[in-house]
């Protein structure tokens, strides 16, 4: 076993990081035959806590984990990285406007995009989790001069997993039988969780559920507002499920994903399905197992789908306008 992958994780001492690092160190992304080096980035005041996380990682004695680097310098954390998971960002402050949050976080992703371009490995892939993740991803991509745009993706996998689970629970089937759910647009409550091409245990989801009003109403609302419901129940935002989703998203890039059950990834829009070009937006994607994705083409979109997709694309367009001074 001689392959070693360098995985950079930002916000590594945060609550998603705490759940995500053991998944990576256990082979959750690259499988049981690939060793990993974790390269962890935190802000300076949190380095002491990050050192505690390092100690715990050491105490797990993971067979695949060969080294742990901790730093507050993006150029150290991203050095020769094969994969960068950008999880760290600032939470929305009390009364803070979305525009100000976008600007504040955007600045983080300018610096990180530049550092990735400067020091990351030649075949790097970048997954943005930190919110607002679509627009943060766009900012990082635009500032990573020389790194191909298709290396950058943002995460709606948590929403896809949530949607699969809700469909399965309603149909009284196991969630593993639910295929081809798409999350269109933004990772926000305008996202459009689309069941029209989904199947449950081989049957069209609409037929298996047989309740269009539930699909158009409570199903969509539950998925769109699940993050809020978790905060209300737990007193903290989703972390375990977000970490699993980040791991699933990254693993999708490095395994073959086909039309039999596509991955919902936020990628650079090319106008397909009428999306405004140049946004980082959720699409159904297949992957080649080498870090490359393709948007699934030719799916029918009815008027309901077109209308719901237009709402979330408009929000992404507005977000892009709010940060146009940060786009490199
Ligand atoms: P935490 O506040 O627990 O952790 C974030 C960590 O990032 C902190 O330790 C902080 O010190 C660090 N950080 C801040 N700025 C940094 C910088 N410039 N460089 C390196 N580290 C930095 O948040 P957590 O619950 O872990 O969530 C992390 C991010 O994921 C948030 O933006 C959150 O909104 C987002 N989420 C995204 C999801 C998605 O589906 N895309 C779902 C879950 C989650 O809400």
Q: Is residue 162 domain-shared with residue 124, that is, in the same domain?
A: no
Ligand 1 atom with the smallest distance to the CA of 245 is 40
**In this predicted structure, what is the pLDDT of residue 214?**
98
Domain containing residue 18: CATH number: 3.40.50.720
Ligand 1 atom with the smallest distance to the CA of 16 is 26
Residue 101, pLDDT > 90, answer no
Mean pLDDT of 57-70: 98
Hey, which of 39, 87, 229, 235 would you mutate to test ligand 1's pocket, going by the most ligand atoms within 8 Å of its Cβ? 87
Of 190, 171, 160, 170, nearest in space to 284 by CA: 160
SS3 319: helix
Domain end (from 154, 174, 208): 154
187 is catalytic: yes
Nearest CA to ligand 1 atom 3: 14
Domain containing residue 233: CATH number: 3.90.110.10
Does the Cβ of 242 fall within 6 Å of ligand 1? yes
Does the Cβ of 46 fall within 6 Å of ligand 1? yes
Residue range 229-249, pLDDT digits in tens: 999 999 999 999 999 999 999
Does the Cβ of 239 fall within 6 Å of ligand 1? yes
Q: Is residue 12 domain-shared with residue 54, that is, in the same domain?
A: yes
327 inside domain: no
- Check: CB of residue 70 under 8 Å from CB of residue 37: no
Number of domains in the chain: 2
Residue 93, pLDDT > 80, answer no
Residue range 110-168, pLDDT digits in tens: 999 999 999 999 999 999 999 999 999 999 999 999 999 999 999 999 999 999 999 99
Q: Is residue 167 domain-shared with residue 149, that is, in the same domain?
A: no
Q: Is residue 20 domain-shared with residue 119, that is, in the same domain?
A: yes
**In this predicted structure, what is the pLDDT of residue 73?**
98
Domain that holds residue 257: 157-322
278 inside domain: yes
For the CA atoms of 290, 294, 296, 297, what is the dihedral angle to 10 degrees?
Answer: -150
Of 310, 321, 317, nearest in space to 192 by CA: 310
**In this predicted structure, what is the pLDDT of residue 328?**
84
Give the sign of the dihedral formed by CA 238, CA 239, CA 244, CA 247: positive
Cβ neighbours for 251, distance < 8 A, ≥ 6 positions apart:
28, 29, 30
Nearest CA to ligand 1 atom 34: 131
Q: Is residue 243 domain-shared with residue 133, that is, in the same domain?
A: no
Does the Cβ of 9 fall within 6 Å of ligand 1? no
Q: Is residue 177 domain-shared with residue 261, that is, in the same domain?
A: yes
328 inside domain: no
Cα of 87 from ligand 1 centre, angstroms: 5
Domain end (from 102, 137, 154): 154
Q: Which residues of 93-107 are buried (b: 16+ CB within 10 A; e: fewer)?
A: eeeeeeeebbeebbe
Q: Is residue 133 domain-shared with residue 230, that is, in the same domain?
A: no
Does the Cβ of 130 fall within 6 Å of ligand 1? yes
Nearest CA to ligand 1 atom 18: 108
Does the Cβ of 155 fall within 6 Å of ligand 1? yes
Q: Is residue 150 domain-shared with residue 97, that is, in the same domain?
A: yes
Q: Is residue 132 domain-shared with residue 166, that is, in the same domain?
A: no
Q: Is residue 144 domain-shared with residue 168, that is, in the same domain?
A: no
Q: Is residue 173 domain-shared with residue 129, that is, in the same domain?
A: no
Ligand 1 atom with the smallest distance to the CA of 18 is 26
- Check: CB of residue 293 under 8 Å from CB of residue 153: yes
Domain end (from 102, 134, 154): 154
pTM over 0.85: yes
SS3 122: coil
Residue range 278-310, pLDDT digits in tens: 999 999 999 999 999 999 999 999 999 999 999
Q: Is residue 145 domain-shared with residue 215, that is, in the same domain?
A: no
Of 52, 48, 63, 45, nearest in space to 18 by CA: 52
């Amino acid at each position: 076993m001689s392959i070693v992958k360098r995985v950079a994780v930002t916000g590594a001492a945060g609550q998603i990081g705490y759940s995500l690092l053991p998944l990576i160190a256990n082979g959750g992304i690259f499988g049981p035959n690939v060793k990993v080096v974790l390269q962890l980035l935190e802000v300076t005041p949190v380095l002491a806590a990050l050192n505690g996380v390092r100690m715990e990682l050491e105490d797990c004695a993971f067979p695949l984990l060969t080294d742990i680097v901790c730093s507050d310098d993006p150029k150290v954390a991203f050095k020769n990285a094969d994969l960068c998971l950008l999880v760290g960002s600032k939470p929305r402050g009390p009364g803070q406007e979305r525009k100000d949050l976008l600007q504040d976080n955007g600045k983080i992703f300018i610096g990180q995009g530049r550092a990735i371009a400067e020091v990351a490995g030649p075949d790097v892939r970048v997954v943005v989790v930190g919110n607002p993740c679509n627009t943060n991803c766009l900012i990082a991509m635009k500032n990573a001069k020389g790194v191909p745009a298709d290396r950058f993706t943002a995460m709606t996998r948590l929403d896809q997993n949530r949607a699969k689970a809700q469909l399965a629970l309603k149909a009284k089937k196991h969630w593993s039988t639910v295929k081809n759910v798409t999350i269109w647009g933004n990772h926000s409550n305008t996202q459009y969780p689309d069941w029209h091409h989904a199947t449950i245990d081989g049957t069209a989801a609409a037929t298996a559920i047989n309740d269009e009003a539930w699909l158009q109403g409570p199903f969509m609302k539950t998925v769109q507002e699940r993050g809020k419901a978790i905060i209300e129940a737990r007193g903290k935002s989703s972390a375990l499920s977000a970490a699993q989703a980040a791991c699933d998203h990254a693993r999708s890039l490095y395994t073959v994903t086909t039309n039999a059950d596509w991955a919902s990834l936020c990628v650079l829009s090319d106008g397909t399905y009428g999306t405004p070009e140049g946004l980082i937006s959720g699409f159904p994607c297949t992957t080649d197992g080498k870090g490359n994705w393709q948007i699934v083409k030719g799916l029918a979109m009815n008027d309901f789908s077109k209308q719901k997709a237009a709402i979330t694309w408009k929000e992404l367009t507005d977000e892009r306008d709010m940060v146009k001074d940060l786009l490199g």
